[in-house]
Chains A and B, each alone.
Chain A
Amino acid sequence: MSSEENVILNIDDACISYGGDLAVRNVSLQIFEKKITAIIGPSGCGKSTLLRSLNRMNDFIHGCEQSGRISFRDEDLYGDKMDPVEVRLRIGMVFQRPNPFPKSIYRNVAWGPDINGLEGDLDDRVEKALRQSALWDEVKDRLHESALNLSGGQQQRLCIARALAMEPEIILMDEPCSALDPVSTARIEDLLFELKENYTIVIVTHNMQQAARVSQHTAFLENGVLVEYGDTEEVFTNPKNKRTEEYVTGRFG
């Protein structure tokens, strides 16, 4: 990895367990600024758990415990001085299933900036976020209709717009295309290409082609263990580990 890349998140020896069962074991890796990092691996390998630990969404899960250190711009993400609400304000998230609020399209995007009192004109912010998520042209004439009338793919792009409206430093995406059809998936991948100019993205996916297409770095997790981490091209064309090779060539998983 080249030296001009800045580490924005440093995960050091992270272990995460649910009620005593270890889901993530001694994982250490760095997330680089303004790059897309993909986390791949078979179902149940702990990739979503790892992702959710990066903006403290695991705080809501009863019996979830964590050790090791995760630093966000050199500050301890789980330190006493870190406010979890502030963490989620700076590190946004898009979930596996589209989860728009049962409100209008406009209110969905404006919700975060509104409650957090972000500066600037709300209308401009909503329009900008919807343009960035390539949804503006489809919804500009019906901003005040319910978001639940949108298609699944549109809803997911709305959720991305909702996250973008907060102008977070990092966006975490947890299998954002797994509930979508191929056309919607392609649109979201196009979107990721555009977003990486300005945003740091960590995407969990079980779709290896997707990881290969969109990311610069790829981490391969199996049974909670980080098997391999490196440049995406390396991981897919010249993996160092036998298990990685078997997984990326589709022999299991």
Chain B
Amino acid sequence: MKTVKPRYLENSLQVVFFMCAAISTITTVAVIGILAFETWGFLQHVSIVEFLFGTRWSPLLHPKSYGLLPLLAGTTLIVVGASLVALPIGLACAIYLSEYAGERARNVLKPVLEVLAGIPTVVYGFFALTFVTPILRTVLPQTDVFNAASAAIVVGIMVLPMVASLCDDAFRAVPDNLREGAYSLGATSFEVTTRVVVPAGLSGVFAAFVLAISRAIGETMAVTLAAGATPNLTLNPLESIQTMTAYIVQVSLGDTPAGTLTYQTLFAVAAVLFLVTLCLNIAANMIMKRFQEVYE
């Protein structure tokens, strides 16, 4: 009987691949572990009710106060503003790309969108500060130098390519024979788009929206530069605010000693940020899955 030669290369490669896969998993678990540990430490000093529902955030200046709501309000302002910019324009852009654009227009527009997605976020930040804010202040003179609106607009522009690209994918996944079926019933292009293609791709559209919102929540550079550093419980977009991410930047850049309560606020805020984006990503995945099942 012939003996089977052991395949050393094959086996060692398997180990290498496993290690690569393990690194990302271990990193994720470690990050979650550290977040949980430090957040737990923080919650020993500040009650969870005060943290989540307190209306004043002042961990650096006396009298100290650890109410997250001003930061949540700041993040909400940015997300709502960015969504108002990115979702309708991104959707319209995707409709144009998938249903109306000819081959040539598509070949120009798609790469331009990808370039837009590749611009470093810090560039968007000073673009907001030096370009969008002056325009806003000309139109609405009561606008603060640092304000939520300007940051929200550029965050919207930042996530717009993602919305457009994912919605475009969703529409292009709608089989052509559905379009043909609709045309054969005497539908116009507009009716085919709005009453067959968009509804059929709707779960993909929702998933794109959720992912865009999740990115807007996590966006840091533009809001740090343009939206200010004033934890401010307001829904007025013309005022200076601070988002959760901008707070993390502010404290990380300072000389806060490890182990202090101020240091632990970083992790507590990061934990909230992580949980919110995690939930949104899970939601997006669930919606995507439903969307994939439709035509199988």
Interface residues of chain A, those whose CB is within 8 Å of chain B, are 55, 57, 60, 62, 85-86, 88-90, 92-93, 95, 97, 99-103, 111-112, 115-116, 148, 159, 162-163, 166
> B12 contacts the other chain (Cβ, under 8 Å)?
no
Looking at chain B's contact residues, the main secondary structure is helix
B186 touches A89 (CB 8 A): yes
Chain A min CB distance to B166 (Å): 19
User: Could you write out 25 A-B pairs with CB less than 8 Å apart?
Assistant: A55-B184, A85-B187, A88-B186, A88-B187, A92-B184, A93-B180, A95-B181, A97-B177, A101-B178, A101-B181, A101-B196, A102-B200, A111-B182, A111-B195, A112-B186, A112-B187, A115-B186, A115-B187, A116-B186, A116-B187, A159-B181, A162-B181, A163-B185, A166-B185, A166-B186
Contacts of B88 in A (CB 8 A): none
Number of A-B contacts (CB under 8 A): 68
| A99 interface neighbour in B175, B188, B191, Cβ under 8 Å | B175
Chain B min CB distance to A226 (Å): 24
Chain A min CB distance to B72 (Å): 38
> B183 contacts the other chain (Cβ, under 8 Å)?
yes
Chain B min CB distance to A182 (Å): 23
Contacts of A163 in B (CB 8 A): 184-185
> B103 contacts the other chain (Cβ, under 8 Å)?
yes
Give the interface size bracket for B toward A: 20 to 34
Q: Chain B: which residue is nearest A88 at the CB level?
A: B186
A57 touches B183 (CB 8 A): yes
A99 touches B181 (CB 8 A): yes
Cα A166 to Cα B179 with chains together (Å): 17
Chain A min CB distance to B98 (Å): 14
B184 touches A88 (CB 8 A): yes
Contacts of B187 in A (CB 8 A): 85, 88, 112, 115-116
Q: Could you tell me which residues of chain B, from 152 to 199, have a CB within 8 Å of some CB in chain A?
A: 175, 177-188, 191, 195-196, 199
Cα A92 to Cα B186 with chains together (Å): 8
Cα A137 to Cα B275 with chains together (Å): 52
Cα A112 to Cα B186 with chains together (Å): 7
Q: Chain A: which residue is nearest B202 at the CB level?
A: A102
Contacts of B180 in A (CB 8 A): 57, 60, 93, 95, 99
Q: A102-B295, A116-B185 are in contact. List 13 more A-B contacts (CB 8 A).
A: A60-B179, A60-B180, A60-B183, A86-B186, A89-B186, A90-B186, A95-B181, A99-B177, A102-B178, A102-B199, A111-B185, A115-B187, A115-B195
Cα A100 to Cα B191 with chains together (Å): 16
Contacts of A162 in B (CB 8 A): 181, 185
- Which of A55, A90, A102, A166 has the most CB atoms of chain B within a 10 A radius of its CB? A102
**Beyond A101-B200, A115-B195, is A88–B183 a contact (Cβ under 8 Å)?**
yes
Contacts of A92 in B (CB 8 A): 184-185
Q: Chain B: which residue is nearest A92 at the CB level?
A: B184
Cα A57 to Cα B186 with chains together (Å): 11
> B294 contacts the other chain (Cβ, under 8 Å)?
yes
Contacts of A90 in B (CB 8 A): 186
Chain A min CB distance to B95 (Å): 17
Chain A min CB distance to B287 (Å): 15
Cα A101 to Cα B183 with chains together (Å): 12
Cα A115 to Cα B103 with chains together (Å): 29
Q: Chain B: which residue is nearest A166 at the CB level?
A: B185
Chain A min CB distance to B292 (Å): 13
Contacts of B178 in A (CB 8 A): 99, 101-102
6 closest A-B pairs by CB: A89-B186, A112-B185, A93-B184, A99-B177, A99-B181, A88-B186
Chain B min CB distance to A205 (Å): 18
Cα A8 to Cα B294 with chains together (Å): 40
Cα A57 to Cα B175 with chains together (Å): 16
Chain B min CB distance to A60 (Å): 7
Cα A56 to Cα B231 with chains together (Å): 62
Contacts of B191 in A (CB 8 A): 115
Q: Chain A: which residue is nearest B102 at the CB level?
A: A62
- Which of A103, A111, A163, A166 has the most CB atoms of chain B within a 10 A radius of its CB? A111
Contacts of B200 in A (CB 8 A): 101-102
Chain B min CB distance to A97 (Å): 6
B185 touches A88 (CB 8 A): yes
A95 touches B177 (CB 8 A): yes
**Beyond A62-B103, A99-B175, is A57–B196 a contact (Cβ under 8 Å)?**
no
